[in-house]
């Protein structure tokens, strides 16, 4: 075994171009959402292959606002959104904060994604949308989900928080439904430090989103003259009786804008996106292709022919036949310098915040299984194949010691 290495879970890239932009923004003293946010939105939309992208303050806000758009089309407080039982808790939180009731569906153990065969049974007369999650960057079965949505007249909102770089049948995650919600948190491939962004091909959805992120204002132009150049705006006083439309509020909104400094970090990351993605996929695939050696005690996901996994992290699941616990595995890895994260939990039955919905343990056996047995570790661009080899060697060493 080689000497101990440090394998941190995440990293953040702040390229020189971002630092230059940050300095320019600070010198200008205009740091609230403006021209750099708009430039970032344009670049992100181009990357995903959609017409519109609307930047917000977090990935959770991206999910909330994407769902809140549905209120414009007849959805009411307390209506239902179908989501997978297994995800980072932000998925369920977004549904609740958008004014809806989450209806949970179990997942498939091998993909970690929503079990499409169970969705129809969860649909009621109050269902308004399906929100699949591309967990760990592995695309959900979007064809199956979209067929069901069309059949029942439902919206589909992708939770693409971890799916930067993911492709489903050649199309990027975030372009496969009515709306897509991405996280731009520091562990993600494209980061703004904090932040999120919503993608859509609908100009109408994008206009509503720009209003929602700023308290529901009637002022929602794609590019704001006041924010970018402090020029006179001919639209500003066209409200009733000449009222300033910046203070006309058409809908219940949120305070979720991205600022210019965050956008500057994002612009630098987009510039280096291909390099970051290539490095991370090299790390991910190197491990996935060598992971069968740990069967039947440890498993992970596989990349199928019709997809490209977005290289967010490496999931590892302790299997039934193992004579060790997840805690023993994580403690061993952490002592060896390999940082770990729990692979989330069954939101309805393992997260007390959702207890009010009345679900009981045992209703989501696959999500609960992963919630008790899953972890994930990093594959980010500051790591290389040497670190990936160290991870594989450490797992092999662990099994030699702990598997009886």
- Catalytically active residues are 188
Q: At 390, list the tokens.
A: 């160290």
- Radius of gyration from C-alpha coordinates of the chain: 22
What six digits make up the tokens of 160? 């693409």
Contact (Cβ atoms closer than 8 angstroms) between residue 40 and residue 172: no
Yes or no: say if 168 and 183 are a contact pair by the CB < 8 Å rule. Answer: no
C-alpha closest to that of 381 among 296, 278, 307, 299: 278
The closest alpha carbon to 364, from 348, 343, 342, belongs to 348
Q: What is the C-alpha to C-alpha distance for residues 192 and 349, in angstroms, rounded to an integer?
A: 33
Q: Which two tokens stand for residue 186?
A: 């520091």
Strand partners, 56: 196, 257
Count of CA atoms in the C-beta half-sphere (13 A) of 160: 33
Rounded to 10 degrees, the C-alpha dihedral 235/240/241/244 comes to -40
Pairing of strands 155-159, 171-172: unpaired
């Amino acid at each position: 075994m080689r000497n101990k290495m440090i394998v941190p879970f995440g990293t953040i890239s702040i390229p020189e171009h971002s630092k230059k932009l940050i300095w320019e923004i600070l010198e200008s003293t205009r740091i609230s959402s403006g021209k750099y946010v708009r430039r970032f939105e344009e670049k992100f939309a181009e990357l995903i292959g959609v017409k519109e992208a609307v930047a917000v303050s977090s990935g959770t806000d991206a999910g909330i606002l994407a769902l809140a758009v549905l209120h414009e089309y007849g959805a009411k407080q307390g209506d239902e959104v179908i989501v997978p039982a297994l995800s980072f808790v932000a998925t369920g939180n977004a549904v609740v904060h958008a004014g809806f009731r989450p209806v949970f569906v179990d997942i498939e153990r091998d993909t970690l994604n929503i079990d499409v065969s169970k969705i129809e049974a969860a649909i009621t007369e109050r269902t308004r949308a399906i929100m699949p999650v591309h967990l760990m960057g592995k695309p959900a079965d979007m064809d199956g989900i979209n067929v069901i949505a069309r059949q029942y007249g439902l919206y589909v909102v992708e939770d693409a928080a971890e799916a930067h770089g993911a492709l489903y049948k050649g199309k990027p995650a975030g372009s496969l439904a009515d709306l897509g919600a991405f996280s731009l948190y520091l562990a993600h491939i494209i980061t703004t430090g904090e932040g999120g962004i919503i993608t859509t091909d609908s100009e109408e959805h994008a206009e509503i989103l720009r209003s929602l992120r700023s308290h529901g204002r009637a002022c929602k132009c794609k590019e704001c003259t006041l924010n970018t150049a402090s020029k006179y705006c001919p639209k500003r006083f066209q409200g009733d009786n000449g009222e300033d439309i910046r203070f006309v509020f058409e809908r219940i909104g949120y305070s979720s804008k991205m600022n210019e400094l965050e956008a500057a970090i994002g612009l630098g990351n987009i510039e280096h996106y291909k390099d970051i993605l290539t490095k991370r996929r090299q790390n991910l695939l190197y491990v996935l292709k060598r992971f069968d050696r740990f069967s039947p005690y440890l498993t992970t996901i596989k990349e199928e022919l019709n997809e490209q996994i977005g290289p967010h992290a490496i999931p590892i699941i302790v299997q039934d036949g193992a004579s060790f616990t997840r805690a023993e595995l994580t403690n061993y890895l952490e002592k060896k310098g390999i940082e770990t994260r729990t692979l989330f939990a069954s939101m309805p039955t393992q997260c007390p915040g959702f207890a009010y919905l009345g679900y009981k343990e045992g209703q989501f056996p696959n999500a609960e299984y992963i919630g008790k047995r899953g972890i994930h570790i990093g594959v980010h661009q500051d790591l290389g194949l040497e670190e990936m080899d160290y991870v594989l060697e450490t797992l092999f060493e662990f099994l030699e010691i702990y598997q009886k």
